[in-house]
Structures are given as structure tokens and as C-alpha cells.
Structure 1
Amino acid sequence: MTHANPPIRSLGRTGPAVTTPGLGAMGLSGAYGPSDDDEGIRVLHAYLDAGGTLLDTGDFYAAGHNEMLIARALRERSRDDVVLSVKFGANLAPGAPPVGFDGSPRNVRRSLVYSLQRLGTDHVDIYRPARLDPDVPIEETVGAMAELVDQGYIRHIGLSEVGVGTLRRAAAVAPVSDLQIEYSLLSRGIEGNGILDTCRELGIGITAYGVLAKGLIGGTGASADHAAAMFPRFQGENRRRNAELVERLQELARAKGATSAQLAIAWVAAQDEGIVPVVGARRPEQVASMLDSAISLDEADLALIDELLPAGAAHGERYPSAFMADLDSER
């Protein structure tokens, strides 16, 4: 079955109501291998036609291509039916991965102008720095975003991959709707480092990305192409051992009449009502599968999953060391 009306959750005390899961659009712009724009449009329409509302992108996804692709898909639709979540701040250079992040007030405003133009809209629903800029106090970044909220150009302030101290400092300046952070059966750091508890305390929602562990859970995904080479969990012995861990889910998934990917999405959603999984798709049939992930998991199911894949069981870091250094959430 396909859910014509996906479940709706509110992102924190002050954020918007969105459908769960949300659609992560990064893979539609070549992040995990060659992509086709027309197929990407079909993916976006498949999600929106099924009642999905939350589209997650970044202005640095293929240097703006992803935003322009989304604009094409939204051209014939009502803007009010879509919640656009946009990350900004990555410093791009030709032929190289992003190096560093710019959270200066000047860049907050400049980046938004370009995003609004590429997206063909007059506002962004959630705007967030992709990473913490270590050279700019978070109060300055959030303060600039709060001014844009007052001016109507953004509706809500989000954050991404920041730790407890940064969360508290940011929330003291302006309401924060949600924290975008990696959270999956193989990446459970937020349970033990205080981030999940702090979000609950402050009324900040969580949009969880990497729910399928970049393809380790439920399919080839990133593991089938060039992007996987950079992730330690896909390299050498790590890949084999992580694949063996994930295989443990298959029997329970079959008992639930689901795939292991659907089970993984349902597990993340079951951890807290304030968590919204954000899942990537590159084909319309993947959209149908992810929207079919509203599986009921009782306490016994959750206990069994914890036994099969305990926290900390994954082999290898979730990013290469250079990228890990950019994560305030890991400090």
C-alpha cells in the first residue's frame, strides 16, 4: 500500500508541521553518482503527489543545481503546500569538496538572496547553517537569521550538526525549530552525548538524516558508486562487518511485512514524536517504499532491535576524519 496521507509531526515547539518522512533531495543532483533531471522531477512529484510536504536541500548541492531542480518541480504547485528546508554556508571551490563554512551575518543574507532566486520563491520555511563556523559566534549567525524571520524571508531557524552548548546558545537568541543531524541504527551518538535530551528539554525538533546509513541499510545506495569510497563504514573490513550487522534486521522486517529500510525508518521515527526522518530517493518507486514505512513497533520490537544492533555497534566513523573535524556535534 502507499500512504496517500503520510503522518504529520510538528518540528519542535515553534516549528512547522511536516509530513514524515521528509524527502532529502541531495541525491537528485549527482551526490551518489550520475543523476537525471527528468527522473529527479518525477521523484519530487511522486513525493508531493502522495501528500509529502518536507523537501530538504542545500544551496551547495551541486552548486545550486538542486535548488533549481526543486524550483522546476514546484512551478505548477502551490507554494503553501511545501515546506522547504535549506542549508547554507559551505565554502565551494572548483573541482574540490567544500572546505570550511561561513556563518557570518553577511553570508547569511547573501546566501539567502541566491537561494530565493534559484528556488523561485519569496521565502524559505526553514533556513539553517550546514555546519558551525568556528570563527563566528553562533549568536551572530542566529541573530542575522532572526532579522530575516522578522522581515518574512525565512519562517523558521534551524541548525545542523551542532552540540549541546551551541544548541543552548542559539536557543537563547531566537526560537530554533529543529536540529538536522545524522541518526540511524548505525549512528546513535545523539542518545549518549546529550543532544537528544537537550532538544527535548528546549523543545527543538530533530530532522534525522542518514537514516539508511548512506545505503548500508536496505540496498546498494551509496555503496554502489564512487561516493562510497569516502565513507569509512564502506571501506575494507568495515563494510563487510556492517553488512553483517544489518542482515540481523531482515527476519524482523519480514515478520512485519516490511523491508529492512522501512524498518530502519520506522525505528528512527519511534524514538521520539519530535523526530522526523529525512530519506533520500532517486527513483519514484523508492519514494513509494519510504512512504510505506509507518510500521508499528511495540516495546518488544524496539528491545529486540536494540539487542540485534546495539548502540555503538557500527564499524568505522560516519565521515572521513577531515569532515568529522567540522562537526560541532562530535566535540
Structure 2
Amino acid sequence: MSGHGTLERVELGRGGPVVGVQGLGCMGMSEFYGETDESAARATLDAALAAGVTLFDTADAYGRGANEEFLAPFVAAHRDEITLATKFALERGEDPRHRGIRNDPPYIRRAVEASLRRLGTEVIDLYYMHRRDPAVPLAESVGAMAELVREGKVRHLGLSEVTGAELREAYEVHPIAALQSEWSLFSRDVEDSAVGAAAELGVAFVPYSPLGRGFLTGAFADAGKDLEAGDYRKDQPRFTGDNARANAELLAPVREIARARGASPAQIALAWVHRRAEVHGLTVVPIPGTRKPGRVEENAAAARIALSEAELALLEPIAARVAGDRYPDMTSTAVAREE
């Protein structure tokens, strides 16, 4: 099946890969969001490509490598049609709660070789540092990543959850094609420094969780009741208790705009993210995750919704009113290192 959707194509960074203006986050196809259905997930990959999605995003930490292995057959069948992105840095052990961060050059080399093997490919199109370890000089980490480009194992470099200052520092070592961080109606801290730096350098922005991990779809308001066992959102501050109830009320203008347009709340939330490209003068390619073919088609259609200034004004106050942090522990995010 070849991609034949109508998504606009954009360039990730200066001289970077040309991709559909919306990508697909594949994390939930292996873990974190409860039980998975492999056949439905594979159908979702095909539906995404048919809709014009060409950027497929994974990481070695997702399912402890299982997500990369899951994608391998799809990669093999469509290698020349897709842009394959994966990440290193999150080290996971037997304890499911453990998240170590490794940015040292020897670790990076081991990580890329393992990802190439699991993905069944000779080259990764976009290789991200998933999280920053401040104990390792950024120049050392990016320098090691740059070596992978020179060796032909990686085509382009990306960073995730870094500050504007860190992005500039990294770019001095090697061009960065994309910065991936959380950005949505519920999460706008990246606008403090990272977005401006990306626009200045010509780095594309790839928002993860552009639907607030599903909260912005309006599908649930109480994690304890609405999410199945094994769903990690049950422990996320924004999904629990009074926070969840308060945040659910913030969706009123999203629903109002959706009703008026005959769209879904998810489409309005994604349309807002796409509009950031014009507002901030940079390329923006969100990567909403889903495991349902119908949902990926709905999400792709959001790229064609142009919100009016009046609608944007209704949505503007939401982020400042959100209750709860993005994670129970924010120490590994860029927010913790903002000056």
C-alpha cells in the first residue's frame, strides 16, 4: 500500500527529510495504554500511510525494544516511502518504574546498533536523544551522534525535551533536524525558550502528546473509572482526582468549536497545534498516537482545519489553567533545566 493521502509535505529542518505534516506516534502500540491489539495496530500503520502520514516515531524504550521489533515488518515493506524516527537515552531495567538516562558516547553506539537490528534496517532517518543527562557534556553526546551520521547509520539528528539554550549549543556541534517535546493546548512550556530557538535555527518542532495523552479528545475525565488496568495514565497528575475533574471542565471551548464545525474535539486540539507553525514561524509536525485505523484518518483530517482568530482566542486561556504537572516527576524534562 502506498501513501496517497492529501497531507501537505514539509521539510524537517534545513536539508532534512520531507514528510507529511502530521506523523504517527507508535508508543501505545506496545505498552503504556493498556491491552494492545496487534492486528488493529498493524492496520493503523497502513491507514496512516494511506492518509499521507510518512513520519513514524518509536524509541528503544517503548516496550523495551518491542515497539521497534513490531515496526520492523512495516519498515521492510515501505522503507522508501517512510521516514523512520527512533530514540535512545532511556535505560529500563527489570523494575518497570526505573528510568535511567544515558547520554555517554559508548552507550549511544550500543543503542544505535541495537535499534538498527530490531528495526531491520541499515539506516535510521531521524535519531533522537530522548532525554538529556546534564552530567554528560552535550557536545560529547551530539558529537557521538554526528559520528553516526558520518558512518551512514543515521541520516538526521533530533533532540527531545531540551531547552532553547541546549538546542543552540547542540546545533553548534551538528545540525539538528527536529526537536521533539510535549506541546498541546494543555502543555505550552516549550514556548518559553525552545520554540523560539527552533524557529531561529530552522529546526522543525515535533510535538508529542498533542492530544494531552488523550485527555483533549474528551473521551474520559476520571482515570480511575475510565481507564483500564495497566494504563500508565492512572498515575499521571493531570488524570487523577480533583485535577482530572478540573481539567475536564477546561474542554468546554474545545467542544463548543468542534460542535460548530462538525468536527471532533481531537481534531480541534490538533488543528490548534498545527496553527503553531504560523504563529511562531517554524515547521510543526505533531505525532498523535493511536491504535485505531479510523482514529488516524480522523487525526490526519485535522491538518486541513484552519482555526479562526476568534476560535484561537477561546482556546488561548486553557493551558494556564491546567491542574497538575505533565509527569509525576518532572526532573528529566526541559522545564527542570530552564533558567
Candidates 316, 325, 331, aligned match of 1:325? 331
Structure 1 residue 219, shift from structure 2 partner: 4.1
Check the 8 A contact 2:23/2:54 in 1, yes or no. yes
What is the deviation of 1:299? 2.4
Match of 2:253 in 1: 248
User: Where does residue 212 of structure 1 map in the other structure?
Assistant: 211
Letter aligned with residue 276 of structure 1: V
CA distance in 2, matches of 1:99, 1:159: 18
State the match for 2:145 in structure 1.
Answer: 145
Partner in structure 2 of residue 5 of structure 1: 6
Which residue number corresponds to residue 162 of structure 2?
A: 162
Question: 2:272, 2:312 within 8 Å by CA — same for their partners in 1?
Answer: yes
How far did 1:210 drift?
1.1
CA contact (8 A) 1:159 1:176 kept: yes
- How far off is 1:229 after superposition? 1.6
Report 1:1-331 matches (<5 A). 4-77=5-78, 79-191=79-191, 193-220=192-219, 224-225=227-228, 226-272=231-277, 273-293=282-302, 294-306=304-316, 309-321=317-329, 324-331=330-337
Corresponding residue SS for 2:77: coil
Pairwise CA distance, 1:319:
0.5
Structure 1: any 5+ residue segments left out of the alignment?
Answer: none
| SS in structure 2 of the partner of residue 80 of structure 1 | coil
Deviation at 1:188, TM superposition (A): 0.8
Amino acid at match of 2:162: V
1:285 match: secondary structure: helix
CA contact (8 A) 2:182 2:208 kept: yes
State the TM-score, normalized to the length of structure 2. 0.91
Q: Are the aligned partners of 1:14 and 1:176 in contact in 2 as well (CA < 8 Å)?
A: no
Deviations 1:289-319 (A, max 9, x none): 111112011323222321xx34411110010
Tell me, in whole angstroms, the C-alpha distance in 1 between the residues paired with 2:98 and 2:56. Answer: 22
Contact 2:250 2:318 in 1 (8 A): no
User: In structure 2, what is the Cα distance between the partners aligned to 1:107 and 1:220?
Assistant: 40
In structure 1, how many angstroms separate the alpha carbons of the residues matched to 2:176 and 2:218? 34
Identity of aligned residues (%): 41
Give me the whole-angstrom Cα distance separating, in 2, the residues matched to 1:68 and 1:44: 14
For 2:241, the aligned partner's letter is G
Q: Does structure 1 conserve the Cα–Cα contact (< 8 Å) formed by 2:158 and 2:176?
A: yes
Deviation sequence 1:241-299 (CA, Å, 0-9, x none): 10110122111112122111001001001011411111001111111111111201132
- Residues 253/330 of structure 1: CA separation in 2 closer, same or farther (3 Å cut): farther
Query: Which digits, 9 at most, give the CA deviation of each residue in 1:46-86, with x for residues without a partner?
Result: 11122210000001100111111111223332x12110111
Q: Offset at 1:88?
A: 0.8
Structure 1 segments of 4 or more deviating over 3 A?
219-223
Q: Report SS of the residue matched to 2:216.
A: coil
Flag the 1:301–1:278 CA change in 2: closer, same or farther, 3 A: same
Which whole-Å CA distance do the structure 1 matches of 2:98 and 2:44 have between them? 26
Give the length in aligned residue pairs: 324
Question: Residues of 1 paired with 2:335 and 2:176: CA distance?
Answer: 16
In 2, Cα distance between the equivalents of 1:47 and 1:81? 12
Cα distance per residue 1:188-229 (max 9 Å; x no partner): 1122x2211111111111100111111111143786233122
Q: CA deviation at 1:143?
A: 0.4
> 1:94 offset after TM fit, Å?
0.9
